[in-house]
Amino acid sequence: MVRSPLTATSASQDSKMAGRKLALKTIDWIAFWEIIPQNQKAIANSLKSWNEILTSRLAALPENPPSIDWAYYKANVAKAGLVDDFEKKFNALKVPIPEDPYTALVDAEEKEDVKSCAEWVSLSKARVVEYEKKMEKYKNLIPFEQMTIEDLNEAFPETKLDKQKYPYWPHQPIENL
Amino acid sequence: MKTTKNFYLARPVSGHLAPALTDSPIRGHRNAKIAVWNSADHAVPSGTFCCRHSGPLSEECSLPRSRTLGPVTERNALKSPNGQDFNRVLQATRTFHTEQPHLAPVPPLPEYGGKVRHGLIPEEFFQYLYPKTGVTGPYVLGTGLILYALSKEIYVITGETITGLAVIGLYIFGVKKFGPSVAAFADKLNEQKLAQLEEAKQASIKQIQDAVDMEKAQQALVQKRHYLFDVQRNNIALALEVTYRERLHRVYKEVKNRLDYHISVQNMMRRKEQEHMINWVEKHVVQSISAQQVLNIFDVLTLYLYL
């Protein structure tokens, strides 16, 4: 039996909502999945699902609530001044925009991450250089048919027989033969 | 003679043995012992032959005495700059110690040793005698020497002779029959060793390559790390927005609820008043109907029944 007034956005209502814009970055989910190591896949999954939950909730809520038809209420409510009072208070009310202490944390984390990544990348490059050197050495080996045992020991130091430790032939523990 | 050109002997013959002439063969030695010649040991006119295994190991040999690992295959066979195959050409003169010693990579061993006739006598001997005595010369010499030794009893025929002949016959038979297979077996062993080494080397190379690739992939991934933080920031923004909107909606709902409550209370009161009034009116109307009027109405009704 309650008549709900039809919603009609009036200009007076819009002024209440502050001009906030939702700035969301587009996410490449495949790349996001790639960078997560195996042992953190669960956390990544929860992040993703939270994202989905929140987007759906956001989609369900219209940006502004419908506005209240004061004229109708003024006409119908018997108590004088009640509606005016409500209207005044309603317009004066400012819903606080929730504060955001968390983005700062995320930014700080990201900065640290960038730093550690840069460090890691430089280490990685050094490693790559070492590997390349080793590769060169291996690629430039003379063919085995033309090596002597000394050459072999130079190229693969693990083949060198320790004649101090095992002075008698075969210069290695029997198990290695 | 052609002008000398330098080339090098195979390693076990000690690398500091330097060059010989263009049309000299490589004296291939698969023997582990190093045969070292000093140039003083030989007269070096044209047409000398060198003995095969000669001389003690020289102290001059500055290189390690070691043995190369592998057989020489056809592809390693040395060729002279002119394309002659050294394995088949006679060695004429040799000069030694005229160049710096050469180290690795060692030129590969020739596949076959110097040619030998009847398993005993080097080919060079026959070639040496050829200009003077022709093809049959060395054979005649050999026959003559044998007959001389027999007739002069320099070599005495005893029971041992028969033994010797039999044993030598057996040796020759054995070698001819089983030699190649034994050689193949030995070669196979060596091949296995080489294959093992080769495999190890390839595995190492592959491992390093994999490591390099992985490092490169990881480096590429570093570019994408910002997505992690983007997701987090997005989540935060979404949550805040959702909260804010929910608050707005709540305010609206509450206010509207209160206003609607007032209205519905009013409506309900009015309805109640109406009903009450109706009831009251009805009651009084009913009360006001006197008994007499009731009887009159009954008469009228019975009249209607009969009609």
Structure tokens at A67: 């506005």
Write down the pLDDT at residue A97: 83
Structure tokens at A113: 């991450």
pLDDT band at B39 (very low <50, low <70, confident <90, very high): very low
DSSP state at residue A89: H
Residues B98-114: pLDDT tens digits? 666 666 566 777 878 88
The verdict on A161 touching B (C-beta cutoff 8 Å) is: no
The rounded distance, in Å, linking the Cα atoms of B121 and B57 is 24
Average pLDDT over residues B233-249: 89
The verdict on A117 touching B (C-beta cutoff 8 Å) is: yes
Give residues 221 to 250 of B whose Cβ lies within 8 Å of A: 221-222, 224-249
A-to-B residue pairs, Cβ atoms closer than 8 angstroms: 204
- A65 and B251 within 8 Å at the Cβ level: the answer is yes
- Please indicate whether residue B307 or residue B173 has the higher confidence score (pLDDT): B173
Residues B249-307: pLDDT tens digits? 998 888 889 888 888 998 999 999 999 999 999 999 888 887 778 878 888 888 888 87
Of the candidate ranges B121-125, B169-173, B215-219, the one whose mean pLDDT is the lowest: B215-219
Write down the pLDDT at residue B88: 53
The shortest C-alpha distance from B105 to chain A (Å) reads 7
Owner of token pair 């570019």 = B223
Write down the pLDDT at residue B73: 47
Residues B88-100: pLDDT tens digits? 555 556 666 666 6
Nearest CA in chain B to A34: B221
The rounded distance, in Å, linking the Cα atoms of B272 and B266 is 10
The rounded distance, in Å, linking the Cα atoms of B148 and B13 is 37
The rounded distance, in Å, linking the Cα atoms of A64 and B251 is 11
Helices (H), chain B: 123-133, 137-151, 159-222, 226-288, 291-306
- B245 and A144 within 8 Å at the Cβ level: the answer is no
Nearest CA in chain A to B75: A145
Nearest CA in chain B to A24: B234
Q: What is the pLDDT along chain A (177 residues), one digit of tens a residue?
A: 444 343 333 333 433 444 466 778 888 888 888 888 888 889 889 988 999 998 898 888 888 888 888 888 888 877 778 888 888 888 888 888 888 888 888 899 999 999 999 999 899 999 999 999 999 988 888 888 878 888 888 888 888 888 999 999 888 888 887
Write down the pLDDT at residue A69: 83
- A131 and B222 within 8 Å at the Cβ level: the answer is no
Task: Give the domain ranges of chain B.
Answer: 1-99, 224-271
The rounded distance, in Å, linking the Cα atoms of B219 and A124 is 8
Describe the crossing of helices B226-288 and A41-60 by its angle, rounded to 10 degrees.
40
Q: Are B54 and B78 within 8 A, CB to CB? A: no
The verdict on B259 touching A (C-beta cutoff 8 Å) is: yes
Residues B42-53: pLDDT tens digits? 433 333 343 333
Determine which of A147, A150, A152, A161 to mutate to test the interface with B (most B C-beta atoms within 10 Å): A147
The rounded distance, in Å, linking the Cα atoms of B27 and A127 is 48
Write down the pLDDT at residue A36: 83
CB atoms within 10 A of CB A102: 15
Nearest CA in chain B to A82: B259
Q: What is the DSSP string of A90-122?
A: HHH--PPPPP--HHHHHHHHHHHHHHHHHHHHH
State the Cα angle at B129 between B127 and B131, rounded to 5°.
85
Q: Which residues of chain B does A127 touch, with a Cβ-Cβ cutoff of 8 Å?
A: 211, 215
The rounded distance, in Å, linking the Cα atoms of B67 and A97 is 86
Write down the pLDDT at residue B105: 61
Among B231, B249, B255, select the one facing A61 at the smallest CB separation: B249
CB atoms within 10 A of CB B12: 22
The verdict on A33 touching B (C-beta cutoff 8 Å) is: no
- B234 and A113 within 8 Å at the Cβ level: the answer is no
Average pLDDT over residues B194-210: 92
The shortest C-alpha distance from B32 to chain A (Å) reads 12
Q: Which residues of chain A does B216 touch, with a Cβ-Cβ cutoff of 8 Å?
A: 128
The verdict on A22 touching B (C-beta cutoff 8 Å) is: yes
First to last CA, chain A: 99
The shortest C-alpha distance from B89 to chain A (Å) reads 23
Among B208, B218, B236, select the one facing A103 at the smallest CB separation: B236
The verdict on B66 touching A (C-beta cutoff 8 Å) is: yes
The rounded distance, in Å, linking the Cα atoms of A18 and B238 is 17
Q: Which residues of chain A does B267 touch, with a Cβ-Cβ cutoff of 8 Å?
A: 1
Q: Are B111 and B30 within 8 A, CB to CB? A: no
B63-89 burial code (b ≥16 CB/10 A, e <16): beebebbbbbeeebbbebeeeeebbeb
Predicted complex ipTM exceeds 0.85: no
Q: Which residues of chain B does A115 touch, with a Cβ-Cβ cutoff of 8 Å?
A: none
Q: Which residues of chain B does A95 touch, with a Cβ-Cβ cutoff of 8 Å?
A: 244, 247-248, 251
